[in-house]
């Protein structure tokens, strides 16, 4: 069912950050930094996959994401919802259900046998497709999914995520240069503010995280 309530954007960001913390999807470790998919280090890590195990949280977040996309892109803007393998698949299914639209998903690469397809499900020529993922860092990983969708003859000009890092310069420009608009619920700044408000993480760790967020490149250079 399509949500009928529309919280203010800042309230959505605040509540989303609180839910990520409550579901323990946010990890802090300033002493033994995490390694990101890029190979670079970080004192923080977000695991949105955990959210599928929390029914009330996932339902609320999917309501938020659906209304955000409809408010920003239009109520009749899409014909198909596509999830990116693998983390985006469950969220795409939930958004498709809310918006009453077909759902498909995009593989990271052809599966190597059978039809050797990257698209599972049905995307028709001319379909306006919303790409749904769990999060985005610098936006680069989205481009391969977008291209695979466009190879079917469909249009993919929007992507929606729960969490957007919001700290790497050029992310929106990278997507915009590819003809893609990003929609998101919250950023690291929202999570950091919520963590300070909750008081469950020591101030020294959060100060280290803030140093990283303000200048990721310098922090990563100093920490391998």
- pLDDT tens, position by position, 18-72: 999 999 999 988 788 888 766 778 889 999 999 999 999 999 999 999 999 999 9
At residue 116 the predicted structure's pLDDT band, cuts being 50, 70 and 90, is low
pLDDT for res 131: 98
pLDDT per residue over 150-171, tens digit each? 999 999 999 999 999 888 878 8
Indicate the CATH number for domain 9-222.
3.40.50.2020
- 3 state SS for 143-190: HHHHHHHHCCCCEEEEEEEEEECCCCCCHHHHHHHCCCEEEEEEEHHH
Please state, as a whole number, how many other Cβ atoms lie within 10 Å of the Cβ of residue 2: 12
> Of the candidates 178, 171, 170, which has an alpha carbon nearest to the alpha carbon of residue 143?
178
Q: What is the pLDDT of residues 164-195, one digit of tens each?
A: 988 887 888 899 999 999 999 999 999 999 99
Supply the pTM of this predicted model: 0.92
Tokens of 106: 């995009």
Domains in the chain: boundaries: 9-222
The overall average pLDDT reported for the chain is 91
Rounded distance, CA 136 to CA 123, Å?
23
Q: How confident is the model at residue 101 (pLDDT cuts 50, 70, 90)?
A: very high
Quote the CA–CA distance of 58 and 70 in Å, as a whole number: 18
User: How far apart are alpha carbons 190 and 165 in whole angstroms?
Assistant: 10
pLDDT value at residue 34: 86
């Amino acid at each position: 069912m399509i949500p009928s309530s529309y919280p203010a954007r800042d309230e959505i960001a605040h509540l989303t950050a609180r839910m990520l913390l409550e579901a323990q999807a946010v990890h802090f470790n300033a002493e033994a930094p995490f390694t990101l998919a890029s190979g670079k280090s970080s004192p923080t890590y977000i695991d949105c996959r955990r959210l599928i195990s929390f029914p009330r949280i996932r339902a609320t977040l999917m309501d938020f994401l659906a209304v955000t996309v409809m408010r920003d892109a239009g109520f009749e803007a899409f014909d198909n919802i596509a999830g990116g393998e693998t983390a985006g698949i469950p969220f795409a299914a939930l958004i498709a259900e809310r918006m009453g639209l077909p759902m498909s998903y995009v593989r990271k690469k052809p599966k190597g046998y059978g039809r050797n397809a990257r698209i599972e499900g049905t995307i028709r020529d001319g379909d306006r497709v919303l790409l749904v993922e769990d999060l985005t860092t610098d936006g680069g990983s989205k481009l391969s999914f977008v291209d695979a969708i466009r190879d079917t003859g469909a249009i993919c000009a929007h992507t929606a995520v729960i969490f957007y890092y919001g700290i790497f310069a050029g992310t929106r420009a990278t997507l915009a240069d590819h003809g893609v608009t990003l929609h998101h619920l919250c950023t690291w700044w929202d999570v950091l503010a919520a963590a300070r408000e909750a008081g469950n993480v020591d101030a020294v760790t959060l100060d280290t995280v803030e140093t990283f967020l303000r200048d990721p490149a310098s922090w990563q250079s100093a920490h391998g």
